[in-house]
Amino acid sequence: MKKIILSLLLVMFIIPTLSGLETESENIPVEQETESNNQNITETENKEVEEGPITLKSKSGIVIDASSKKILFEKNSNEELAPASMTKIMTMLLIMEEIEKGNISLEDQVTISAHAADMGGSQIYLEAGKTASVKELLTSIGIGSANDSAVAMAEKIGGTEENFVALMNKRAKELGANNTHFVNAHGLDAEGHYSTAHDMALIAAELVKHESILDITGTYETTITHQNGKSIWLVNTNSLIRFYKGLDGLKTGFTEKAGYCLTGTMERNDMRLITVVMNAEIKEDRNTDTINMMEYAFSQFYKNTLIEKEKSIGTIFIDNSKSREVKYYLKDDVSVILDKTTKDIKYKYDIELFEVKAPLKSGDKVGKLILKYDDKEIEYDLIVKENVVESSYFHRMINYLKDLISGNVNVIGN
């Protein structure tokens, strides 16, 4: 009898404690969509995924290899649906590309417009006329899904949100996301604003090439401080960052029309995967579907590296360069994703070099390698790893004389 009473007391104590943990994230000041039911997530993480095709509860989903874009599993992945805040994956991509080009820096200050400050939904309560750094805005987009920050950065890059949206749609087409059309930079429901799981995966795969973005999207919580001294606590809308080991991105989404959406990414065994879930009815379904696709793909496929990027592929002749013979390398490893029943493949490749002139800087593209296997062709960029200096007049004369002596130059009249 004493044991029964003790057990009842323990249950009475534990249940309220767990309930408090599950609703902890409701205190997040910037989130329209909050994450809860942490106990369910950890239970899902430990469930084994059955081999073979898996069943998704979400309306649409896909898992791809981030490097090759190979589809490893999909369900209705080309159905056009509202992407909600997963829209911000494209917004972040354009921001990262502008940083890489040197057009903006993380330290740049952005003046907040009334349009940005008036945004609803998830936000960090930016004030019109005040300024915030690119780093602060990018952080609040990647972690807190801040709509006001997304619009502020859109205006910083495009001049207006409308101009920025045009850049979004242009970039989508360049990436092969042909079933996508954006109307805004934040993802709130709007007529004609749609994408697909496949297209979102392609955009996400391009974003994760900028590895520093994962330092933001892989952060569970942080604090930023406004110009007025007010601090905002950001908790990642993607709760799997905390409860599913290895996941370091990428973006959640939710509206009444879109349902619960999630683009996830993680790397394991030198293979980075992208998953997209769209139009789940409840948060737990999108989390479960994401984990199941990840575990299925990691258990059934592996990455086979055929040519490593560290090794020089050959040399390119650049007539006006000081050294003339310049080594070139792969920008990325040449690799293929195989199911675990396949141990080897037959392949060949062609090299296509461009006509280039010095000067060149490290990372400049000088050609492409075309991998051919299994009736497929995949192109890989070839780059120089060192700066290529243009030769002086003196060096050009020396090179000319060398060519003359070696017989590589025809003398007029012979």
Q: Which helix (H) or strand (E) holds 235?
A: strand 231-235
Q: For residue 207, which of 71, 90, 101, 70 has the smallest C-alpha distance? A: 90
* CA angle, 332 then 174 then 310, to 5°: 5
Show Cβ contacts of residue 259 under 8 Å, excluding neighbours closer than 6 positions. Answer: 58, 59, 278, 279, 280, 281
- Lookup result for tokens 């933001």: 216
- How far are the Cα atoms of 253, 288, 402, 412 from residue 408, in angstroms, in the given order? 63, 66, 8, 13
Beta bridge partners of 73: 63
Q: Rounded to whole angstroms, how far apart are CA atoms 220 and 239?
A: 8
By DSSP bridging, strand 271-280 and strand 259-268 are antiparallel
What is the distance between the terminal CA atoms of the chain, rounded to a whole angstrom? 116
Show Cβ contacts of residue 101 under 8 Å, excluding neighbours closer than 6 positions. Answer: none
Burial of residue 174, with CB atoms counted within 10 A of its CB: 0-12 exposed, 13-18 middle, 19 or more buried: exposed
Q: Rounded to whole angstroms, how far apart are CA atoms 16 and 34?
A: 20
Task: Identify whether 250 is preceded by a cis peptide bond (ω within 30 of 0).
Answer: yes
Burial of residue 226, with CB atoms counted within 10 A of its CB: 0-12 exposed, 13-18 middle, 19 or more buried: middle
Helix (H, G, I), strand (E, B) or coil at 298: helix
DSSP result, 128-145 = TT-EEEHHHHHHHHHTT-
Q: For residue 101, which of 382, 318, 361 has the smallest C-alpha distance? A: 361
* Residues labelled as active-site residues: 85, 88, 145
- How far are the Cα atoms of 183, 252, 313 from residue 259, in angstroms, in the given order? 18, 11, 48
Q: Which two tokens stand for residue 227?
A: 């110009």
